Amino acid sequence: MVPLSYYLLLSGVLFACGVMGFLIKRNIITIFMSIELMLNGVNLSFVAFAAHWHQLAGQVFVFFVMVVAAAEAAVGLAIIIAIYRTRETLNVDQVNLLKL
Amino acid sequence: MSIHLILFLGFGVIAVAGAVNLLVQRHPINSALSLIAVMAALAGEYLLLGAEFVAVVQVIVYAGAIMVLFVLVIMLLNAGLEEKTKGSRVATLFGIPGMLLGSLLVAWVVLRHSGTEPVPVGALPGSPSTIGDLLFHEFLLPFEITSILILIAIMGAVVLASRPPTAGAGPGQKVKD
């Protein structure tokens, strides 16, 4: 038997790692992976709360989060390919104009 | 120490180690592989919580499909080592202590005030049939809306990743040159 707070702490640690990666990483693909890490941390707390409150809706929300993450990954990676095609770099420090 | 706590700690250590490894590695392919380890460990945690459907979808969709997309793009763009850049001094002076303080505060609040009664293992059967029943009755409208979202995302990805016509690499211009 594991207390709910342990799950919440693990989820918080994963989310914090994602935030830190988003802030300190310079490669645009790694930054994108940090966002996925944050989504995973949130999913864990959804499932833990679903089990704690006996509400299956939490697991359905995780399903929706995964669907939106898949859509986001497809569009985001297409944007990364478009950026690389015009800038020839993946370093976010050199991508400082919205204009292509 | 029950077997559930041991399994929870084992999967949790794998997940946190993978997340820290994602931050430490300088090559994106290593970060991607450690992220796959995090997702697999989280699937184990979901199984401990009785969410079978979510665990399977986590492995198939997240660790499978999405990460394959990431690895494909890393290999397609031939992404190399990340360049090191210096952060601001204010961030290191105040950011790290502030982050530690904030996370300790959050951990204290969670440990103190959230439910300390244990989450029963397997008490909530998250089998595919129950989830599907919920998905197609109570959550039918959000489900349909997400399918439209997926369709728009597919079209957007195709439009964004296709070669722009003004690039001068069209077949017609090549013949003229």
Calpha distance B21→B14 (Å, rounded) = 10
Q: Taking residues A81-88, what's their average pLDDT? A: 87
Q: Taking residues B21-26, what's their average pLDDT? A: 91
B103-130: per-residue pLDDT in tens? Answer: 888 888 888 776 666 666 655 667 888 8
Please report which helix (H) or strand (E) contains residue B161, including its range: helix B140-161
Calpha distance B107→B111 (Å, rounded) = 6
Q: Is the pLDDT of residue B165 over 80?
A: no
Query: How far is B19 from chain A, CA to nearest CA, in Å?
Result: 6
**pLDDT higher at B17 or B83:** B17
Q: Is the pLDDT of residue B168 over 60?
A: no
Contact residues, B window 79-118, toward A, CB-based 8 Å cutoff: 79, 82-85, 87, 99, 103, 106-107, 110-111, 114-118
Between the alpha carbon of residue B43 and those of residues A77, B27, B86, B159, B167, the distances in Å are 24, 25, 36, 33, 44
Q: Of the candidates A14, A43, A90, which has an alpha carbon nearest to the alpha carbon of residue B28?
A: A90
Query: How far is B59 from chain A, CA to nearest CA, in Å?
Result: 11
- Cβ distance A7 to B119 less than 8 Å, yes or no, reads yes
Calpha distance B46→B51 (Å, rounded) = 5
DSSP chain A: -EEHHHHHHHHHHHHHHHHHHHHH--BHHHHHHHHHHHHHHHHHHHHHHHHHHT-THHHHHHHHHHHHHHHHHHHHHHHHHHHHHHHS--BGGG---S--
Does residue A89 belong to the interface with chain B, where contact is any CB pair within 8 Å? no
Calpha distance B44→A7 (Å, rounded) = 13
Q: Is the pLDDT of residue B171 over 80?
A: no
Calpha distance B146→A95 (Å, rounded) = 31
Quote the ipTM score: 0.91
Least confident span in A33-47, B18-32, B125-139:
B125-139
Please state, for a pLDDT cut of 70, what percent of chain B lies above it: 84
In DSSP terms, B119 is beta-bridged to A2
Q: Is the pLDDT of residue B167 over 70?
A: no
Please state, for a pLDDT cut of 90, what percent of chain B lies above it: 43
Least confident span in A6-15, A91-100, B53-62, B160-169:
B160-169
Query: How far is B176 from chain A, CA to nearest CA, in Å?
Result: 24
Does residue A83 belong to the interface with chain B, where contact is any CB pair within 8 Å? no
A20-63: per-residue pLDDT in tens? Answer: 889 888 889 999 999 999 999 999 999 988 888 888 888 899 99
Contact residues, A window 13-72, toward B, CB-based 8 Å cutoff: 13-14, 16-18, 20-21, 24-27, 29-30, 32-34, 36-37, 40, 43-44, 47-48, 50-52, 54, 56-57, 59-60, 62-64, 66-72
Calpha distance B81→A81 (Å, rounded) = 17
